[in-house]
Chain A
Amino acid sequence: MWMAHSSSPYGVRRIALACFALLLVAIFLFPGQIQGLLQYLGGPVGYVVRIPLEAIASIDAGIADRWEQYVMLQGVREENQQLRKEIEWLRGQHSQLRESAASTERLTALLHFKEQALPTMIAAQVIGRDATNRYRTIILNKGEGDGITPDMGVVTPAGVVGRVVKTTWASSVVLLVTDPNNAIAGLIQRTRDEGIVEGTQEGLAQLKYIPLLSTLRDGDRVVTSGLVGDFPRGLMIGTITRIDKQEGALFQSAELKPEVEIGRVEEVLVIQTSYGQSIKTGVGADLSEKAAP
C-alpha cells in the first residue's frame, strides 16, 4: 500500500493551493514572459525527451517495417514503395516543370531574368504526432540546434507538408497543411488566381478567397504563391476536387486533396532559406540529390 494515509493534509493543501494560485496569477499577469521562460527551459528538456522518443519511434518504425515486409507480400510491397517514391518525385518534377513553363511564357517577353537558386533545406525524420487530438501536427527529430526556427516551411518532394510552429533544441512541431489553424498563400497553376489554403475538419484542405470571375475547375492544381511566408513559389499543395460558389458571396472557395499523403509522411525537408537567399552557397544543389528517390 502506497501512502494510504496522511495525518497533516492541511499544510500540504495550503501549499498546493498557494502554488496553483501563484501560477494562475503569473500566467494572467505576465503571459508572454512565462511562455518565453518555459519555452527557454523547455530547450534542454526537449533534448532529454528526444532520446526515448527517437528510440521508441525507431522501434515502432522497425516493427512496422518488419511486419509489412514479412507478413505482407514482400516483393510487391518493396516494388510498390519504390514506385510510390518515384511517382512522388515525378509529381514534384512535373509540378516544377509546369510552373517553369508558365513562368517562361510570361517572362520571355521581358527578357530580363532574375537568377534564382534552389532553397536550402534540412532533411528531418518524423518521430511522432501531436500529443493532443486538437491539432494535426507531426514532430521532427531536428530543432533549433540544427537551424530550424518557427514559421519555416516543410515539404517532401511531392509537395507542401506544413510549417514549423514550435521548436526545442532537438525537436520541432510542424502544423500540417490539413489543420484548420494553418494558412498558406496558394495559387491556381492554370488560372494564376491566388487564395489562402487552410485545413478542414475532415483532414483535407480548402482554397479560400478565390475571385468570383476565376475559371477554375476540378482537377486544377494549386501551388504555393511564394508571396507570403517561407514557401518559395511553385511548390505543389494539392488538386481541386470540389468548387464551392455561393449566391451573393464575394469569393468562391474550393476543396483540395493534398498532394502529400499526410498520414504516411516519414521524412521531410525543412526550407531554411527561400529562393534567392541561397545563391552561390552550393547547398541548394543538394536538394535535387535529396529529392531523388
Chain B
Amino acid sequence: MKFLFYLMLVVLLVPLQTTLLPHLSVWNIKPDLGLVTAALVGLFAGELEGLLVGLAIGWVLSLFSAGELWLSLLVNGGVGLLAGFLGRQVSQVTPVSLGVGILLVSLVSGLFAAITLKGFDMSQMWRMVESVVFPQACFDGVVGAGFYWLLSRRFGVRPLRTE
C-alpha cells in the first residue's frame, strides 16, 4: 500500500512540477516540490524511505529536465536521508526550523549547480544565484514549512523519533 502511495507520489509529481507549477510561479521562479517531498518523506517515514523516495524523485524529475542526473539524484536522495536523521535526533521540529533547513539545502544544491554549469563566468554565475538560486531557496523553504505545518497541525502526522 505504501509502495503504491510512493509510486503515485513520484508519478504525479512530474506533471505537477512541469505543467501546473509554472502557473503558480513568482517572478518566473517555481518551488522544487521534489526537494520538499523528499524532505517530508524522510522526516515522517525515516531515513531509508526518505532516501529511496528522494532517489526515485530525483531520477524521474531529471528525465524531464536538462539538468545533470547525478546532481538531482544526490540532492533529492541526500535530503530524504538527512531529513530522516534530523527527524530522529531533533527533539522538536517546527515549520520554521524545517523551512530554514530546506532553504539551506536548496541554496547549497543551487550554488553547486551554478558552479558546475559549463561556460559560465563569475558575473553570469552571480546573476544566476541572485535571480534564480536564492529566490528559489526561499520559495522552497516557505513551501516546505507550509506543507509541514499542514501535515503536522492539521492531519496530526508526527516525525519519526528514536525511543
Report A's interface with B, CB cutoff 8 A.
1-7, 9, 12-13, 15-17, 19-20, 23-24, 27, 31, 34-35, 38-39, 42, 45-46, 48-49, 52-53, 55-57, 60, 127-135, 137, 139, 165-166, 168, 171, 173, 175, 179-181, 201
Contacts and interface: CB of A to CB of B under 8 A. Distances in A.
Contacts of A128: 14-15, 18-19, 64
A52 B12 contact: yes
Contacts of B95: none
B70 A139 contact: no
Interface of B: 11-12, 14-20, 22-23, 28-30, 32, 34, 44-48, 50-52, 55, 59-67, 69-70, 73-74, 77-78, 81, 84-85, 88, 110, 113-114, 117-120, 124, 127-128, 131-132, 136, 156-158, 160-163
Given A4-B160, A52-B15, A133 B28 contact: yes
A38 B77 CA distance: 15
Given A9-B46, A35-B70, A49-B11, A56 B163 contact: no
23 contacts: A3-B45, A6-B162, A6-B163, A12-B47, A16-B47, A19-B51, A19-B52, A38-B73, A52-B15, A53-B14, A56-B16, A56-B20, A128-B14, A130-B65, A131-B18, A131-B34, A132-B67, A137-B65, A166-B63, A173-B65, A180-B119, A181-B118, A201-B131
Given A2-B157, A3-B44, A7-B163, A165 B66 contact: yes
A135 B65 contact: yes
Nearest to A55: B15
A52 B11 contact: yes
A38 B72 CA distance: 12
Given A56-B20, A180-B124, A181-B119, A27 B65 contact: no
A131 B118 contact: no
B20 A60 contact: yes
Contact of A12 (B23, B48, B65, B69): B48
Nearest to B78: A20
Contact of A133 (B84, B117, B124, B136): B136
A36 to B, nearest CB: 10
Given A52-B15, A56-B20, A180 B48 contact: no
Contacts of A165: 66
A133 B28 CA distance: 8
Contacts of B29: 133
A231 B84 CA distance: 48
B64 A20 contact: no
B51 to A, nearest CB: 5
A139 B19 CA distance: 9
A4 B161 contact: yes
A21 B51 CA distance: 11
A181 B118 CA distance: 7
Contact of A49 (B52, B63, B81): B63
Contacts of A137: 65-66
B74 A5 contact: no
A166 B158 CA distance: 39
Contacts of A48: 11
B65 A56 contact: no
Contacts of A132: 32, 61, 65, 67, 113
Nearest to A52: B15
Contacts of B66: 130, 135, 137, 165-166, 173, 175, 179, 181
Contact of B51 (A6, A20, A55): A20
B125 to A, nearest CB: 10
Given A20-B81, A131-B14, A133-B132, A60 B19 contact: yes
A34 B70 contact: yes
Given A53-B19, A56-B19, A16 B84 contact: yes
